[in-house]
């Protein structure tokens, strides 16, 4: 148990340092670019006052939390569907090489198309509601996760797969018993990377599609000169993204510590 806690602490310490550096860079940015001005450029103190100690903090905080709930809902659906699809497709590509050779180039070509350029088609097909936004978030998650999970599945120990075959197991059995457990580090690494990606995809979908959530409120705040709301929304999204990354990382360390001391060596 102690070794597991040390492992979790080693993971969380750099994140805490990174968050402190972000706030320092925030201040340095405002100092380095004085032309931004106090009306547009808001410091962490200004954001804190806007959300917690100002005369309208309760209303501002309630509006931000309402939009954040919508964005988290959209991102969570996109994350779950993107990771799930990546696991299924990666398993099929590993089992059927001909399928990979046929479809992977198409996936690479689709990935090269900017999501903003694909948004009109996605909105046309899936609509401007929850489904359309979730599709955009899942697209951001799917492609990086697919590559990482495929690499993890292919690193499964050959001897263990041959042992499954020697006992009469087929390739599906080897996938379930050997490849997927050995790919857990890659799966968790893909999940960690995909959490911020899902939030970005949800924000883009809300901005260009649904008109709800933080993605929409961020854009609407600019023409209304609501720069406190703008900076507060950006700060909250950043902090939530780091916290969700930390949650997935802690879960990763707990699970991989359960499956052996060498598990989780993949970054």
pLDDT tens digits for 57-82?
999 999 999 999 999 999 999 999 99
d(CA 181, CA 187): 10
- Please report the pLDDT score of residue 73 as a whole number: 94
pLDDT at 154: 87
- pLDDT confidence tier of residue 210, bands split at 50, 70 and 90: confident
On the question of pLDDT at 163 being above 70, the answer is yes
pLDDT of 4 strictly over 80: no
**What domains can be seen in the chain, in order of their start residue?**
2-258 (1.10.3720.10)
Q: What percent of the chain has pLDDT over 70?
A: 96
Region 194-203: mean pLDDT is: 91
Sign, CA torsion 21/26/75/87: negative
pLDDT at position 167 is 79
- Burial track 95-109 (b if 16+ CB lie within 10 A, e otherwise): beeeebeeeeeebee
Q: What is the DSSP string of 58-79?
A: HHHHHHHHHHHHHHHHHHHHHH
Distance CA 182, CA 214 (A): 38
Query: Tens of pLDDT along 104-135?
Result: 888 888 778 887 778 888 888 888 888 888 89
How many CA atoms, within 13 angstroms, populate the side-chain half-sphere of residue 203?
A: 19
Banded pLDDT at 1 (limits 50, 70, 90):
low
Judged against a pLDDT cut of 70, whether residue 265 lies above it is answered with no
Which residue did the predictor score with more confidence, 6 or 70?
70
Does 9 score more than 90 pLDDT?
no
pLDDT at 32 over 70: yes
Return all residues near 186 (Cβ < 8 A) that are at least 6 apart: 148, 149, 151, 152, 153, 155, 266
Percent of the chain with pLDDT over 90: 37
The confidence band for 263, taking pLDDT boundaries of 50, 70 and 90, is: very low
Q: What is the mean pLDDT of the chain?
A: 86
pLDDT of residue 188 exceeding 80: yes
């Amino acid at each position: 148990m102690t070794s597991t806690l040390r492992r979790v602490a080693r993971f969380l310490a750099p994140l805490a340092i990174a968050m402190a550096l972000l706030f320092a860079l925030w201040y340095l940015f405002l100092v380095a670019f004085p032309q931004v001005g106090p009306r547009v450029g808001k410091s962490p103190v200004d954001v804190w006052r806007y959300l917690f100690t100002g005369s309208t903090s309760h209303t501002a905080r309630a509006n931000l939390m309402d939009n954040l709930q919508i964005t988290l809902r959209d991102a969570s659906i996109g994350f779950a569907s993107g990771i799930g699809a990546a696991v299924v497709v990666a398993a099929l590509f590993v089992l059927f090489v001909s399928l990979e050779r046929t479809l992977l180039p198409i996936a690479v070509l689709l990935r090269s198309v900017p999501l903003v350029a694909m948004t009109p088609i996605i909105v046309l097909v899936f609509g401007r509601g929850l489904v359309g936004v979730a599709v955009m978030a899942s697209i951001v998650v799917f492609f990086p996760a697919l590559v990482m999970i495929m690499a993890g599945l292919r690193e499964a120990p050959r001897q263990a797969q041959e042992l499954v075959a020697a006992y009469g197991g087929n390739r599906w059995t080897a996938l379930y018993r050997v490849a997927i457990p050995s790919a857990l580090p890659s799966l968790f690494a893909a999940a960690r990377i995909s959490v911020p990606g899902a939030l970005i995809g949800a924000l883009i979908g809300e901005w260009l599609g649904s008109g709800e959530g933080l993605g929409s409120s961020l854009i609407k705040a600019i023409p209304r000169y609501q720069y406190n709301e703008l900076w507060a929304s950006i700060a909250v999204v950043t902090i939530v993204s780091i916290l969700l990354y930390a949650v997935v990382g802690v879960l990763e360390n707990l699970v991989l510590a359960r499956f052996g001391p060498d598990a989780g060596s993949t970054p």
